[in-house]
Every structure is written in structure tokens, then in C-alpha cells.
Chains A and B, each alone.
Chain A
């Protein structure tokens, strides 16, 4: 069973139905006991980094996530949820993250050519950097769906894939049992479902 951590931000409908579509039991929850009993955790997120971290801390779920991650439970952060895995973000100020992965999150507008539109929105190809079990069923250059204006940097040792958008943007990261996807697997068609299947350790037919 996968627990989708509900801390009051974002729309978790598609994420939950995508997990059900691959035959995985999924619950949207903020219940500590349910999170502890889950086989895997997903940390979703849309909106602003500062607000989201604040909500996570206020609910006390930040500590639950950290202790579950420390026990070795697989956890996947998606989009803003991935960004929150890092040490800090410079989205409208400076905010501390969960520090599960070394690195920080910075605005795209300072580092990509001016003529490129922000947010980076649409389907872009994945370029593999380091092996990750979540890519078990997909191939180099498969496209996934991105929507973001900030990106993770100074995290070279954890980067598992990048996407080209004026520069090589961090598309996914992994450090041991902690995984992050800047893109939305739940919105990336069959490729996205295959990534979720691999994360959930389901057989691909």
C-alpha cells in the first residue's frame, strides 16, 4: 500500500487514480499510523515551497517523513514534493527543506536563455545520468510531463535523469531509498505509469 501524504496542498485525485490504475492500493492520508504502516510513501506538492514546508511542519508530518525515510522506507517526492527533499529553496526568499538530499532549488529564469518560456511546461525527453530502479521499464528519451519554474541544483551526485530546456535541468534524483521526480508521472501517460509501476515494484506485463 502506498500512502500519498496529504498536508493540505494540491490536487491528489490524479495521483491516487494513477496508482489504482497500475493495481496498487493507494490512500490519501495525513494519519501518522497509516503512513507508518504503508509500504511506500509519496510526497506530492503544487504551489509555493515556503507555504508547503510550513504546512508540513505545522502538521508534524515532516518528522514522520524523516523517520520513515531513515528506517529505509521508499519515498518519492513529485514536483514540489521532490524540491522539498532538498536542503533549501530560493523560491520567494530562502526556505529550509527536508534535507534528505543534498542540493538546493533555484529559479529557472536566472539560468536559461531569455527567449524560453517559464514555466517549463509540456512533454520533454529524459536523459539518464545514473541508474535508478524507477526507470526499469522505460527508455532513454522517453517523454514525461513537466510544469515548473524552479529547479534543483548542486545535487550532481543524486541526479538520475535530466531534461534539456536551455540547460540540463534536474528531472529526477535518488539517494538510496529517497526518490524525486520533477515531472508528473501521474500525467505522463504510459511512461509515467511505468515509472510508478517500477517504484511500486510491480511486474510490467
Chain B
């Protein structure tokens, strides 16, 4: 059977990997290319590169890094950050990305998901949604989790999947950076609503958090995390061994 995927996420700014806690206080960690190679050789099933650069200089630096990574790393590579147009898809796909993740771009341009899916296929379009509870409902946030769009999250995700998003990354702002486990309630609500792969993000602090995730939601496809991997708090081979011992199918 298909294996559950473990995905390290690399936030890249000005050519370096950074990771924030609750999306604030960014700290420099390492070289994206070196880190990508390290993960590829140490059990990562896929990598996500998230471009958090605002300047055009930084954007060029980012695509250079993509090319260098795609020349050395031979596992699927998803790229996100600053994807607002079909041309942005083109720009990163040409540099070696396999999938492109859209977040605020899909909120600003309602046609983006369907246009990109028509051009590149659903498998290429990943919807990334930053979700937070507001008055007991799940709401979609834009701009790196800073702005409440007022949209209800589950219907937003369903709409994007109907438009051609082939995969969904659910980032729980409520659990992000807290390291006390994934947002099971939110993730389950998303998994029940769509029939495309769902990737859990936000809250991983220990190996047990991943075990709990895959046990609580058998339909979830992947767990994504950043700092716990970057800072060596969880080694992916150990994590996969732990998952295997808990009867969760992984690629060893």
C-alpha cells in the first residue's frame, strides 16, 4: 500500500532557511541545498520549499537555489510562496519543482487554481491553507497567517479541490510552533470533506505526535514539519522506525 509521507518544510529567505515560531521571530538555520540533500539521504519522502522573500533579488536567488537543489535531490519537490499567477507556476516548474503550492494567491485570484490545473494537471497544484479558529469556526487566514479573510475554511478547501487542487496542506495556526501535537480536530474535518491527499502541518513536537496523527486520522497522507527536523529534535529515520513499530506503513 501507499506509504505515509514525512515532509520537511524549508522556509527560504534571501537564500537561507529560516523557521519562525507562530510565524514570527525568524531564525537562520542552514543552506537550503545542503539541508535538502541531507533530508533526501535521511528518509524524507518529499520536500517543500517555501519562498518568503519579498524582493525580486531574493526571488532570483530562490530560483537559483531551486535549480541547484533539483540537480542534486531526486525526491518530489513542492514549491510555494509568492505564487500569484500561472506565470509563477511556470517560473518554478522550469527550475525543477514538481508541485506548486498556492495560498494567498488563490485567495486573491479565484481563477488561479483552475487555470493552473488545466495547464499543468491537478497533481501539480497544491492548495495550502492557513487556518485558525475564530469564535468556534475554522477561518482561512491570508498573508502568512496575519489577515483573517473571513472565509469558512472547509468550504474554501472544497471549492479549491473542485477547481482542481490535487493536494491540500492544512496549516493550523492554532497549533503551529506550539509543539504539542497536530490539530487533529481541524485535520479530520478537512479529511472528511475532500478526496485528495491531505498533508498535516503545524504542531509537531515529538515522534509521538506523528504516531497520534496517523492513528487518529487513517486517511491523512502526510505529516509536515520544519523546526523539529531542522534543529535535530526529531531524526526522520528514527521517526519512521517509530511509525513502523506502531503499524503505520512508511518507506524505510
Please classify the interface of chain A as helix (H, G, I), strand (E, B), loop, or mixed, using the class held by over half of its residues.
Answer: mixed
* B-chain residues with CB within 8 Å of residue A18 when the two chains form the complex: 74
A-side interface residues, number (CB < 8 Å): 31
Distance A164 CA – B249 CA, assembled complex (angstroms): 13
- B5 A123 Cβ-Cβ under 8 A: yes
Q: Which of B150-186 contact A (CB under 8 A)?
A: 166-167
Nearest CB on A from B63, distance (A): 12
Bound together, the chains give a CA A91 to CA B166 distance in angstroms of: 18
B47 smallest CB distance to A (angstroms): 11
The interface stretch among B19-27, B49-57, B88-96, B204-212 is B88-96
Q: Does B40 contact A (CB under 8 A)?
A: yes
Give the contacting residue for B40; candidates A122, A147, A189; CB below 8 A. A189
- Contact between chains at A13 and B95 (CB < 8 Å): yes
Residues of A within 8 A of B5 (CB): 122-123
A123:B45 contact, CB within 8 angstroms: yes
Q: Which residues of B contact A120 (CB under 8 A)?
A: 2
Known contacts: A13-B70, A14-B70, A119-B122. The answer to whether A124 contacts B3 by CB under 8 A is yes
Q: Which of A117, A143, A146, A188 has the most CB of B within 10 A?
A: A117
Mask: chain B, 183-207; 1 = CB below 8 Å from A; 0 = not: 0000000000001110000000000
Interface assignment of B115: CB less than 8 Å from any CB of chain A = no
B191 to chain A minimum Cβ distance, whole angstroms, is 10
Check A119 against B221 for contact (C-beta < 8 Å). Answer: no
Across the interface, which residues of A come within 8 angstroms of B72, CB to CB? 17, 21
Complex Cα–Cα for A188 and B3 (A): 13
Q: Are B95 and A189 in contact (CB under 8 A)?
A: no
Q: Is A192 an interface residue (CB 8 A)?
A: yes
Nearest neighbor of A46 in chain B, beta-carbon distance:
B121
Q: Does A32 contact B (CB under 8 A)?
A: no
Q: How far is the CB of B198 from chain A (nearest CB, A)?
A: 9
Residue in A11, A117, A187 whose beta carbon sits within 8 Å of that of B74 in the complex: A187
Measured between beta carbons, the chain B residues less than 8 angstroms from A135 are: none
When the two chains form their complex, are residues B2 and A165 in contact, meaning their CB atoms are under 8 A apart? yes
Q: Which residues of B contact A150 (CB under 8 A)?
A: none
> For residue B45, which residues in chain A have a CB less than 8 angstroms away from its CB?
122-123
Contacts of A125 in B (CB 8 A): 1, 3
What chain B residues lie within 8 Å of A192 (beta carbons)? 74
Q: Tell me the complex Cα distance, A47–B119, Å.
A: 9
A164 and B1 CA atoms in complex are apart in Å by 5
> Roughly how many angstroms separate A20 CA and B74 CA in the complex, as a whole number?
12
Q: Are A122 and B75 in contact (CB-based, < 8 A)?
A: no
Tell yes or no: A173 within 8 A of B by CB: no
Instruction: Write the nearest CB–CB distance from B252 to chain A, whole angstroms.
Output: 8
Is B76's CB under 8 angstroms from A11's CB?
no
**Residue numbers in B under 8 Å from A193 (CB-CB):** 74
Q: Could you pull out 28 A-B pairs where Cβ atoms are within 8 angstroms? A: A11-B93, A14-B98, A17-B74, A21-B71, A21-B72, A21-B74, A117-B197, A117-B221, A118-B195, A119-B122, A119-B123, A119-B166, A121-B166, A121-B197, A122-B3, A123-B2, A123-B3, A124-B3, A125-B3, A143-B251, A147-B123, A186-B74, A187-B74, A187-B76, A188-B74, A189-B40, A189-B75, A190-B74
Residues of B within 8 A of A (CB): 1-3, 5, 40, 45, 70-72, 74-76, 93-96, 98, 121-123, 166-167, 195-197, 221-222, 251
Closest 4 A-B residue pairs measured CB to CB?
A143-B251, A123-B251, A17-B71, A122-B2
Chain A residues in contact with chain B, CB under 8 A?
11, 13-14, 17-18, 20-21, 46-47, 117-125, 143, 145-147, 164-165, 186-190, 192-193
